[in-house]
Structure 1
Amino acid sequence: MSTTHGAAPGEQLTAEEAAQLSPEEAMMAGAEADGVYIVHRRDRFPIAGTKAEKRAERTIAIIFLIGFLAAVAFIVVFCGAVPFEWRLPGTGNQNYRYFTPLIGGLLGLSLACIGIGVVLWAKWLLPEEEAVQDRHDGASDMTAQILGAGTLVSGFEDLGIARRSMLKSTLGLAGGALAAVPLVALIGAMIKKPNRGPRQSLFHTPFEAGVPLVYYDGRRVSPDDLLPGGLATVFPGVEGGTKDADSPTLLIRLRPGQAVKARKGQADFGWGDYVAFSKICTHAGCPASLYEQKTGRLLCPCHQSQFDVLQDAKPVFGPATRSLPKLPLNVEMVDGRQYFIARDDYPEAIGPSFWERP
């Protein structure tokens, strides 16, 4: 291969001579200087602007556009266009089941379109080239660095970005929309305050004044159901109450002689010898349900936190640092029999001690 400016191999060029080369000349000379020999190189479209070239551009642009639309659709679906909350069968819109497949499919389509578009750009529009390279060691001198820079500029010019505005625009759209996807996924949950909504779901349960306590099968709970020292898991008797993750509640009947040292403002939360506490451990959310009736200790089996029911479910051992929330109880008469109802919702958020943060 001949070299420009009458120099022999590219490494014999001076920095001043290398700086005078065009990007393509610098690329060729730099390749030789680096031991790279281009044995075949031709433009895909020697004559710019032909119908075949424009057809290839349009095809790639359409693929980039589909990638852009898929990324935008992902953002729209993620931000609430499709329901994502679980619903009991027959109790409302069941479209939540499409949420996860939709966001997964749309994100995959966007990534695939951008990847396919870039690959087709390289196969259809960039120059066809074959090269071989010798292995060598050593740092590059200033001449080699200038020639290397020319190689980069020549490669950028081969992309045809400057004259292919349609591809540049559609790739920018697709890339910009795809770049927004992780931002939406990371901060999207913070756009809507979690304590808003009809039930302020992060801070309230389905319990409220007058809501009956029921077993998992829907039967109402009566004070006559438990023997002294007994325990039962109960739920709010509302639609979907037994499926609500923050609703499980431990109803405990104290043994004779036992009394609870209530927290300030909660002395009247119990009813007779009954008390009710959230079953959700305040350490990591496991079910705290192993009850030792003689000592009044309630154990969480996951990490061995222990709560003293006689001290209003205060943690006395293990990693939990916050007492179990207490549910205020009352009763109502139905057909001559008493049944438990809630006097109100829990006065504090249930679950792990995250809620202790100011």
Structure 2
Amino acid sequence: MSTRDTRPGSTGGADIEGPLHGGPDEDYTPEQLSAMSREDLDLLGARYDGVEVLHVDPGPEPGSRLEKRAVRQVGWSFALAGVSALLFLVVYIGSGWFLPEWSWAEDGTVWSALFTPLLGLFMGLSLTLVGVGLVLYTKKLLPHETAVQDKHDGSHFDRVTTGATLVGGYHNSGLPRRKLITRSLGFMGAAVGVMLLAPLGGLIKNPNTGNPLGRTSWAEGVRLLRIDGSPVRPGDQQPGSLETVFPAVPGGNFESDAATMLIRLRPEQTEENRPRAGQSGFGYGDYVAYSKICTHAGCPVSLYEQETGRLLCPCHQSQFLVTEGAKPVFGPATRSLPQLPITVDDEGFFVARSDYIEPVGPTYWNRERI
């Protein structure tokens, strides 16, 4: 006995003699189905499926005032959704280009305060208008039909008639003749699509440009400033003391990754000081400078025991020995504190000779112990 293949792509049994599997009483071959119009296929499929139409509302009369008003409402909703998406892109892409640069700071500008709310406003407005346009289109322009039908296995007959029904639904929607809606829909789709792609990162702005995780604001010639903005000279500190300094750049004392400990060693510690390989010239006289950011979890190293030359991180009790390149000697930290190379400028103030030669903080905490 022959079996009928109803898998996708098959003829649904149309190539086997006898009635089609799942088909009507009449024997319709693929050739007969392909010769029928879309409307006839739609009606044939409905009759075969046992569809009972309970109510039909054809929608507004084509060309009527009601239809034109509904088309304008939908078109304007889609158009405004596109405009809102473009405004999102203007704020997002234009910051730092033809609009002010956004930056976070405790005393930031009005633009910095409005940047994120504006992004949320325009994206939310765009997506809301998309929804409004779709609801208006469905409610006011599409024909509405209430019907019930039985469900059964698919066949070639089912696929052909169902396809005709779907295509018929597109034609019944009126989109082919409602140019205002199709054009605004295309504009909206392009703008909203770009808006949703833009925040993915790296597509317009690459946040990793310049290796931000591996550098700070320290550079050759940048002065070391106290928290109050005053520069530091050799001799300002007592032997065995520590002072936190920041780079003399805009916002320097608010850049947590640039916070540095300037330490003046005691005379006996100066003699015992053994810098790490390749860093013998990083200090200046009896002064050394190390990153204040603990290499374990990023807490600020803030305690200095001058008798033993140990720096203590209060979060997890890691200890670093200053006289041996700030290597960890106790606690969970496994990497030495990075050392900042320092010297003095022509006016006698401390300046950096370069940035740190290794990343600061815990970002690279899985590196081997140095």
TM-score interval, smaller chain: 0.7 to 0.9
Displacement, 1:18?
Answer: 4.7
Q: Which runs of 5+ in 2 are unaligned?
A: 1-21
Within-5 A mapping of 1:105-184: 105-134=121-150, 136=151, 139-184=153-198
Give the aligned partner of residue 78 of structure 2: 64
> What SS does the corresponding residue of 1:234 show, helix, strand or coil?
strand
Give the aligned partner of residue 15 of structure 2: none
Q: Distance in 1 between matches of 2:286 and 2:137?
A: 77
Contact kept in structure 1, 2:247 and 2:258, CA below 8 Å: yes
Give the aligned partner of residue 268 of structure 1: 281
**In 2 relative to 1, CA 269–142 (structure 1 residues): closer, same or farther, beyond 3 Å?**
same
Give the aligned partner of residue 86 of structure 1: 104
> What SS does the corresponding residue of 1:246 show, helix, strand or coil?
helix
AA aligned to 1:110 is S
Give the aligned partner of residue 257 of structure 2: 246
1:325 equivalent to 2:325? Answer no
AA aligned to 2:189 is G
TM-score using structure 2 length: 0.73
Contact kept in structure 1, 2:344 and 2:350, CA below 8 Å: yes
**In 2 relative to 1, CA 20–82 (structure 1 residues): closer, same or farther, beyond 3 Å?**
farther
> What SS does the corresponding residue of 1:76 show, helix, strand or coil?
helix
How many matched pairs?
Answer: 331
Give the aligned partner of residue 6 of structure 2: none
Residues 78-129 of structure 1: CA deviation (Å, up to 9, x unaligned): 112353113563xx84311111011111111111111211111111111022
Match of 1:209 among 218, 221, 233: 221
Q: Distance in 2 between matches of 1:36 and 1:300?
A: 76
Displacement, 1:53?
Answer: 1.6
Q: Distance in 1 between matches of 2:53 and 2:175?
A: 24
Displacement, 1:153?
Answer: 0.9
| Bigger shift: residues 28-37 or 103-112 | 28-37
| Bigger shift: residues 60-69 or 307-316 | 307-316
Residues 127-184 of structure 1: CA deviation (Å, up to 9, x unaligned): 02222345x5x53122222221122111111222221222111111111111112332
Contact kept in structure 1, 2:224 and 2:245, CA below 8 Å: no
Give the aligned partner of residue 235 of structure 1: 246
AA aligned to 1:211 is R
Q: Distance in 2 between matches of 1:262 and 1:296?
A: 16
1:99 equivalent to 2:110? Answer no
AA aligned to 2:52 is Y
Displacement, 1:313?
Answer: 3.7
1:185 equivalent to 2:199? Answer yes
1:279 equivalent to 2:311? Answer no
> What SS does the corresponding residue of 1:269 show, helix, strand or coil?
coil
AA aligned to 1:280 is I
Q: Distance in 2 between matches of 1:154 and 1:250?
A: 75
AA aligned to 2:221 is A
Displacement, 1:54?
Answer: 2.2
Displacement, 1:15?
Answer: 4.0
Q: Distance in 2 between matches of 1:344 and 1:64?
A: 58
Structural RMSD (CA): 3.8
